[in-house]
Amino acid sequence: MAVVGDLALMGTKIKLIGKLEKRVFGVPLSTSPRFSFSQTRNLDVSKSRTAVRAVLQVEKIQSSGELKEGSLGFDVVSERELKENGFLGLRKTKLVCTIGPACSSIDELEKLAIAGMNVARLNMCHNSREWHQDVIRKIKKLNQEKGYCVSVMIDTEGNQIQVDLGSSSSVKAEEDSIWYFTTEKFEGSRPFTIQANYEGFSEGVNSGDDIVIDGGMATFEVIEKVGNGLRCKCTDPGLLLPRAKLSFWRDGKLLGRDYDLPTLSTKDWSDIVFGISENIDFIAVSFVKDAEAIMHLRDYLTTTSSKAIKVLAKIESLESLRRLEGIVEASDGIMIARGDLGVEIPLEQIPSVQKDITYVCRQLNKPVIVASQLLESMVEYPTPTRAEVADVSEAVRQYADALMLSGESAIGSYGMKALSVLRTTSTRMEQSCREENRQTLLHQRKLGASLPDQIAEQICNCAVEMADNLGVDAIFVYTRHGKMASLLSRNRPNPPIFAFTNDNSTQMALNLQWGVTPLLTDLSDDMEGNVKKTVELIKAKGMIKKDDAILVVSDIIPISTAQTIFQSIQVMTIT
């Protein structure tokens, strides 16, 4: 089954020169939307993984302008940034924008791409399937026709206990008023009655417990259980908004309860199937409780030939914090979803939890996104608060891979400005971190030799130490699946990392990785040839000049099994 996943050359037409079995290791090739087989000649291909791979890779042909002969696959934004700011001026922190009605036209999307959006996020909680499809297609069109490189992420709605307010836009609860929380379904609204969306919501709840709405918008004390429902008194007056979340507290502590609700609902699965059919790059899973849910989704992606899609776990519940390491290990990356996390843990704990999660992610080599309320005031105002700028800077200082806008870009009036604040603030803080590192070069925090592939890990640790000590201008890495590029990024080097890959899905996935500029290009088994060719191409574009120093890391696993795996570090000075 791994074969089809390995061949995920998204958007690239593949010419078959062999007579292939209809099914490769049980997976019907025709189910993969990514491949179009243009020609079949009679050459017998064995069913072995290597042979199938070889045949498909040899005859890769150009399509949709993505992989032109002798092209470097530079996206227009990185190319411009590099020309304007030089190697060290390339921004390292990646930027994710939530797309909503305020930025869904092709012009607005293009403006965001120009302003540095690396990943577009679609929150499946909102809007229709058609709307999401339209946005995804616009982004793909911009990438293909105008040379941008914006990845697409869908973010699942997730299962959680929340209220259904029917047609009401909000409900006000006064102090000491008596309310009834029920799972009974009814049309319209009834006075002092709140519908909860999950039958078992009151299981394990006792009288005297508190129901907290949206992390403190209002609080109710449970008076008694009535059937499946709860009769409650409002003890802290406030407002209930549509889809407000319920959490239960006893003696000042959250009742961390493993509900029977599956992490992925029926709607989530249907959104995932939709995302696969639209060739999205990332699935962010909401309200992850444990590693099993992530592993289950990854198994599903493998069996549907969609292994190239990366699965991100959103850390936004107490359960996910308790099982953090297992979840990080099981996923391809993490989103620190501070919005809902702030409902489950006291707000003052968020900064230290954020620091801990980013540290675990770096150790385990998984990209991490810091999300929610980074520039919340900019939903309404054209300038951020000083505190918001400090929050963004702190996330950059913690070496988060990416920062995310939510309402600021989705519904805000100043989305473009918010993105530009993220860009300038991160570039400034990155510079300051570099200066700091230079002074304390010898005392940099060491990363452990802890990952399964110790050779690759050690090569990348040493390569970055060399690159920083020598002060090289750039690091070049040649990578098929992106592993070496991510291991280099994990060390947060001063120079930028240019990751040359011949796999479109690897390129799109690396868009989330700190300090990596992913470039789609032809790669052959001849490493010297690859290096020579890419250097010449970059030189021809006027991006490197005489005496620039480049550190080259390569990890090309040859197609033919007869050859040995070739991993090396070289330093070259441009002549």
CB 197 within 8 Å of CB 185: no
- d(C-alpha 108, C-alpha 326), whole Å: 39
User: Is 419 an interacting residue with respect to Mg ion (CB under 5 A)?
Assistant: no
CA-based angle 342:334:509, to the nearest 5?
Answer: 145
Among 50, 63, 71, 127, binds ligand ADP (CB under 6 A): 127
**Tokens 């400034």 belong to residue:** 428
Q: Tell me the site size for ligand ADP, rule CB under 6 A.
A: 12
- d(C-alpha 509, C-alpha 485), whole Å: 11
User: Is 346 an interacting residue with respect to ligand ADP (CB under 6 A)?
Assistant: no
In this structure, the number of other CB atoms found within 10 A of the CB of residue 573 comes to: 11
Question: Pattern 287-326, binding to ligand ADP, x per CB under 6 A?
Answer: ----------------------------------------
Interface of this chain with ligand PEP, residues 257 to 296, rule: CB under 6 A:
286
Among 371, 463, 523, 537, binds ligand PEP (CB under 6 A): 371
Q: Which of 131, 148, 74 is nearest to 278 (CA)?
A: 131
Q: Which of 59, 71, 13 is nearest to 520 (CA)?
A: 71
Residue 469 DSSP class: H
Among 263, 320, 372, 507, binds ligand PEP (CB under 6 A): 372
- d(C-alpha 540, C-alpha 452), whole Å: 39
Q: Environment class of residue 152 by beta-carbon count within 10 Å: exposed (0-12), middle (13-18) or buried (19+)?
A: buried
Question: What is the closest distance, in whole angstroms, from the C-beta atom of residue 163 to ligand ADP in the complex?
Answer: 14
Please, where are the H alpha helices in 76-216?
76-85, 106-114, 129-146
Question: What is the closest distance, in whole angstroms, from the C-beta atom of residue 372 to Mg ion in the complex?
Answer: 7
Interface of this chain with ligand ADP, residues 360 to 419, rule: CB under 6 A:
406-407, 410-411
Q: For ligand ADP, which is the closer residue by CB, 98 or 219? A: 98
Q: Concatenate the DSSP letters of all residues of 370-406 into one string.
A: EESSTTGGGGT-SS--HHHHHHHHHHHHTT-SEEEES
- d(C-alpha 264, C-alpha 234), whole Å: 32
User: Is 98 an interacting residue with respect to ligand ADP (CB under 6 A)?
Assistant: yes
Three-state SS for 556?
A: strand
User: Is 354 an interacting residue with respect to ligand PEP (CB under 6 A)?
Assistant: no
Question: What is the closest distance, in whole angstroms, from the C-beta atom of residue 254 to Mg ion in the complex?
Answer: 16
Question: What is the closest distance, in whole angstroms, from the C-beta atom of residue 123 to ligand ADP in the complex?
Answer: 4
Among 43, 58, 61, 125, binds K ion (CB under 5 A): 125
- d(C-alpha 248, C-alpha 160), whole Å: 13
Please give the radius of gyration of the chain, using alpha carbons only, rounded to the nearest integer: 25
Interface of this chain with Mg ion, residues 280 to 339, rule: CB under 5 A:
316, 337, 339
Q: For Mg ion, which is the closer residue by CB, 340 or 408? A: 340
Q: For ligand PEP, which is the closer residue by CB, 354 or 406? A: 406
- d(C-alpha 376, C-alpha 387), whole Å: 11
Interface of this chain with K ion, residues 255 to 314, rule: CB under 5 A:
286
User: Is 155 an interacting residue with respect to K ion (CB under 5 A)?
Assistant: yes
Interface of this chain with ligand PEP, residues 385 to 414, rule: CB under 6 A:
406
Question: What is the closest distance, in whole angstroms, from the C-beta atom of residue 109 to ligand ADP in the complex?
Answer: 13
Answer with the entry of ligand ADP, K ion, ligand PEP, none that 337 interacts with (C-beta below 5 to 8 A by kind): ligand PEP
Q: Are strands 474-478 and 497-501 parallel, antiparallel or unpaired?
A: parallel
Among 34, 245, 338, 366, binds ligand PEP (CB under 6 A): 338
In this structure, the number of other CB atoms found within 10 A of the CB of residue 227 comes to: 9
Q: For ligand PEP, which is the closer residue by CB, 94 or 533? A: 94
Backbone φ and ψ for 304, nearest 5 degrees, come out as -105, 25
Three-state SS for 178?
A: strand
Q: For ligand PEP, which is the closer residue by CB, 409 or 506? A: 409
Answer with the entry of Mg ion, K ion, ligand ADP, none that 268 interacts with (C-beta below 5 to 8 A by kind): none
**Tokens 């230290």 belong to residue:** 352
User: Is 159 an interacting residue with respect to K ion (CB under 5 A)?
Assistant: no
Q: Tell me the site size for ligand PEP, rule CB under 6 A.
A: 12
CB 269 within 8 Å of CB 308: no
Q: Considering only 241-249, 336-344, 432-440, 537-545, which stretch makes contact with ligand PEP by CB under 6 A?
A: 336-344
Interface of this chain with Mg ion, residues 519 to 548, rule: CB under 5 A:
none
Question: What is the closest distance, in whole angstroms, from the C-beta atom of residue 152 to Mg ion in the complex?
Answer: 19
In this structure, the number of other CB atoms found within 10 A of the CB of residue 286 comes to: 24
Interface of this chain with ligand PEP, residues 108 to 127, rule: CB under 6 A:
123, 125
User: Is 515 an interacting residue with respect to ligand ADP (CB under 6 A)?
Assistant: no
Question: What is the closest distance, in whole angstroms, from the C-beta atom of residue 320 to ligand PEP in the complex?
Answer: 11
Q: For ligand PEP, which is the closer residue by CB, 372 or 409? A: 372
Burial per residue of 493-520, b for 16 or more beta-carbon CB atoms within 10 angstroms, e otherwise: bbbbbbbbbbbbbbbbbbbbbbbbbbbb
Please, where are the H alpha helices in 59-128?
76-85, 106-114
Among 142, 230, 312, 337, binds ligand PEP (CB under 6 A): 337
Q: For Mg ion, which is the closer residue by CB, 158 or 495? A: 158
- d(C-alpha 34, C-alpha 8), whole Å: 7
CB 485 within 8 Å of CB 477: yes
Q: For Mg ion, which is the closer residue by CB, 316 or 473? A: 316
User: Is 391 an interacting residue with respect to Mg ion (CB under 5 A)?
Assistant: no
- d(C-alpha 296, C-alpha 266), whole Å: 14
| N residues, the chain | 575
User: Is 123 an interacting residue with respect to K ion (CB under 5 A)?
Assistant: yes
CB 8 within 8 Å of CB 503: yes
User: Is 468 an interacting residue with respect to Mg ion (CB under 5 A)?
Assistant: no
User: Is 155 an interacting residue with respect to ligand PEP (CB under 6 A)?
Assistant: yes
Question: What is the closest distance, in whole angstroms, from the C-beta atom of residue 528 to ligand ADP in the complex?
Answer: 47
Binding site for ligand PEP (CB under 6 A): 123, 125, 155, 286, 316, 337-340, 371-372, 406
Binding site for Mg ion (CB under 5 A): 316, 337, 339-340
Binding site for ligand ADP (CB under 6 A): 98, 100-101, 123, 125-127, 339, 406-407, 410-411
Binding site for K ion (CB under 5 A): 123, 125, 155, 286
